[in-house]
Amino acid sequence: MTTVRRVVSLVPSLTEAVAATAPELLVGATDWCSHPPDLDVVRVRGTKNPDLERITALAPDLVIANEEENRPADLAALRDAGVAVLVTEVRTLPQAFAELDRVLTAGCGLPRPDWLDAAEAAWRAVRPRFDATAVVPVWRRPWMVLGRDTFAGDVLARLGVRNAYAGHPERYPRVDVGELNEPGRADLVVLPDEPYRFTAGDGPEAFPGLPAALVSGRHLTWYGPSLAEAPGVLSAALAAALSAPPR
C-alpha cells in the first residue's frame, strides 16, 4: 500500500476532516474549502471546475472526492493522469460516518480520530425533538429544494423534521415557490446559508405563512468535524423558528 503524504481534497467537508486529523497531509483544496479558516494550501478552483493541471502538478498521493459534488469526467481525467482518486458517496448519516472512516483510515492511512467518535456519540444520543414537516430550499432563481435520498434530509429526519419532498423522484427538484407555499404543504421552511446564502433579508419573505429557520449549511450538509456540534446547533435554530410568533 502506498504511503499517503500528499492529499488534495475536492470536497469542503472532507478538507475539514483531514485538516482536523492530519493537516500536514493537505497540499491542495478547492476555493470553497472554508474550514479551517486559516487553511493554507494551494487552491485548485471549484468542485465543479477543478484545475486538473494544477492538481496533477501537486503530485498528490491521493485525491479525495464525492460522487455528488465532483464531475465523473474530471475524476476520470485525474485517474488517466496516474492520480489515485477516492470517491465517497454520502446520502445518510450512517454512510457519512462510514465514509469518513474509510477516507481517513483506509485512504490516508491514519488512526481513527477522536472527533469522529465524538460525532457518532453525539448523534447516538439524539432523539426526535420535533414533529414537523419542512420545505428545504437550497437555491432560488430558480427555486430548488431537497428531494429524495439526501444527507441533509436524513439529518433533519433524525431531529424530527420531515422533508416535504422526500418522496420526489428527483434529488434536487425545481419547484415553483407557489407550490412550496400551498396550505398544508409544510409547517416551516428551513433555509441554509449554502449552497445559496439565504439570510434574514433574502429568503423568508418568499414564505409569508411559514416560520423560517435560518440554519448553518455547514452543520446541515457537511460531513466532518461539524457533525459533533450539528445536533445542538440545528435543534436550536429549528426550535427558535417553531416557537417564534407568526410573521
Residue ranges covered by each domain of the chain: 7-112, 127-243
pLDDT for residue 68: 93
Chain segment 167-200, per-residue pLDDT in tens? 999 999 999 999 999 999 999 999 999 999 999 9
* Range list of β-strands (E), the chain: 7-9, 26-29, 42-43, 62-66, 85-88, 132-135, 137-139, 144-145, 161-163, 188-192, 212-215
What is the mean pLDDT of the segment spanning 107-135? Answer: 97
Domain formed by 7-112, architecture? 3-Layer(aba) Sandwich (3.40)
pTM: 0.94
pLDDT surpasses 90 at 5:
yes
What is the mean pLDDT of the segment spanning 78-94? Answer: 97
Nearest CA among 221, 168, 171, 182 for reference residue 198? 221
The C-alpha cell that represents 243 in the structure block: 416557537
Nearest CA among 118, 85, 138, 92 for reference residue 17? 118
Chain segment 26-57, per-residue pLDDT in tens? 999 999 999 999 999 999 999 999 999 999 99
Instruction: Fold for 127-243, please state it.
Output: Rossmann fold (3.40.50)
Angle between helices 114-124 and 230-243 in degrees, nearest 10? 40
CB 244 within 8 A of CB 211: yes
Which residues neighbour 127 within 8 Å (Cβ) at sequence distance 6 or greater?
Answer: none
pLDDT for residue 244: 84
In three state form, how does the secondary structure of 17-48 look? HHHHHCHHHEEEECCCCCCCCCCCCEECCCCC
pLDDT for residue 247: 66
Backbone φ and ψ of 227, nearest 5°:
-65, -25
pLDDT surpasses 80 at 2:
no
CB 43 within 8 A of CB 28: yes
In the chain, % of residues over pLDDT 70: 99
Say whether 127-243 and 7-112 share the same fold.
Answer: yes
